Structure 1
Amino acid sequence: MIELKLKRTALRWDFSFFAVLAVFFIWDYSGFGFAALGICTAHELAHLAVMRLFGMSPDSLTFYGAGIRLSASTVESAPPGDQAAVYAAGCAMNFLLGGVFLVAGEGRIAAVSFAAGAFNLLPLGEFDGRRLLKLLLISRAAPENVDTALRICGIISAVIAGAVLFKAGGASPTFFITAAYLVILSAKRL
């Protein structure tokens, strides 16, 4: 792992990130690899912008094979509304960029951005959707039931999303591999 320190924030690049990136660009005949990387970067920058807006700072930003993880202990100790704003910012950016690309006539890049936003809203793993759903459940359910409810919702939503995308023929193999991995992890914890 490569690590740099920028003020109080650790920037980390795991070997798996470079491996996935290399494979992705080797097999990317569509030319959308750089667009997807830019869309993912904009997603994380939106989280960072809202964090800074609320006076929070990230502990680390880690690039690994399954994506980019932003860790910030200051977010978890913030009021629920501030947390929700931070967690929703990345997906909101994806949907905003998708709209901009759509208006600009770049339908395929718009689809990538919309898909990234929707995928991140799935209540799986460390995705934004799981964090948002957890905030909602914590305020309404018994604490001992929250983790089980999150896992069940994640599994159901991933299976439904996978079935819809498979039927439509619109998902990349990467989506199915990532979703299957996250579903298996969630199911093992039930």
Structure 2
Amino acid sequence: MLRWKRVEISGGALLLGAVLFYLDDQGLFLLSMLACIAHELGHYLAILALGGEVTGLRITCVGAEMRLSSRRPLNWFGQVLAALSGPLVNLGLGFAALRIWGETGWCFAGINFALGAFNLLPAGCLDGGRALGFLLTPLLGEEGALRFLKVLAWALAAGLLAGTAILAWQGSLNLTLPLLSGWLLTGNFQGKKACIQ
């Protein structure tokens, strides 16, 4: 575990980053890291603008987790905005990058669109799931919203596995879909743990 002020980076994240950097022969790693940093910066700035305080950032090989001060909690609407701010920054950067001429601009736009859209999926361990959970809590209660998000995560994981089977049946093996399915299910087993708390 690497610690610097309020930031912790797990050994798994460092190892994964090193492997991806080593295997990257197209220069996508640095563009992807820039998109991820912009995503987390979007969350951070939204939390500050809404009156919250970030007490720590933990980066692991499966994502980032911001810990908020309990002394300055965000209200219901602030939690929804804070959860959606990261993906919205990525989508905005994607549209801005489309204006840049050259292959790098288009590539950066695609990375941002993919990161923003993926994080908007309604699974509890993603920003879209957290925002949906905050929206459903007044209607279903905290436990009901959590159960609903778990069912959605299972359905998304099953859909990804079905897509893997269809692609394999057509003669195209895709390892990304089952890895994403496993990641969603892992996040599902973690229960209420969320990146924005």
TM over 0.5: yes
Structure 2 gaps, min length 5:
168-173, 192-197
Distance 2:91 2:177 in 1: 18
Q: Distance in 2 between matches of 1:97 and 1:185?
A: 27
Map of 2:136 onto structure 1: 137
**Alpha-carbon separation, structure 1, partners of 2:108 and 2:177:** 16
Task: Give the alignment of 1:16-95 within 5 angstroms.
Answer: 16-74=12-70, 77-95=73-91
- Equivalences, count: 182
What TM-score do you get using the length of structure 2 for normalisation? 0.79
Q: In structure 2, the residue corresponding to 1:141 is in which secondary structure?
A: helix
Equivalent position of 1:177 in the other structure: 179
Partner of 1:150: 149
Identity %: 25
* Alpha carbons 2:39, 2:87 under 8 Å: kept: yes
Give how far 1:188 is off. Answer: 9.1
**Counterpart-to-counterpart distance in 2, 1:50 and 1:23:** 32
> Is 1:101 the equivalent of 2:97?
yes
- The corresponding residue for 2:170 is none
Alpha-carbon contact 1:75-1:83 (below 8 Å) kept:
no
Q: Which amino acid aligns with 2:52?
A: M
Q: Within the alignment, does 1:121 sit opposite 2:116 as a pair? A: no
| 1:51–1:57 Cα contact (<8 Å) kept | yes
Structure 1: any 5+ residue segments left out of the alignment? none
User: Aligned partners of 1:79, 1:133: CA distance in 2, in Å?
Assistant: 15
| Equivalent AA in structure 1 for residue 108 of structure 2 | I
Q: TM-score w.r.t. structure 1 length?
A: 0.82
Q: Deviations over 1:23-69 (max 9, x none)?
A: 11111122111000000000001111111112211121112111222
Displacement after TM superposition at 1:167 (Å): 7.6
Amino acid aligned to 2:138:
S
> In 2 relative to 1, CA 188–17 (structure 1 residues): closer, same or farther, beyond 3 Å?
closer
State the alpha-carbon separation in 2 of the partners of residues 135 and 188 from structure 1. 17
SS in 2 for 1:99: helix
Task: Name the aligned partner's letter for residue 94 of structure 1.
Answer: N
Corresponding position of 1:2: 2
TM-aligned CA distance change 1:112 to 1:161, over 3 Å: farther
Contact 1:51–1:75, Cα closer than 8 Å, also in 2: no
2:195 match:
none
Q: Deviations over 1:100-139 (max 9, x none)?
A: 1122142222111111011111233532112101111102
SS state at 2:4 partner: strand
CA-to-aligned-CA distance 1:140-160 (integer Å, 9 cap, x gap):
114432221111112223444
Q: CA RMSD in A?
A: 2.8
In 2, distance between residues paired with 1:95 and 1:184? 26
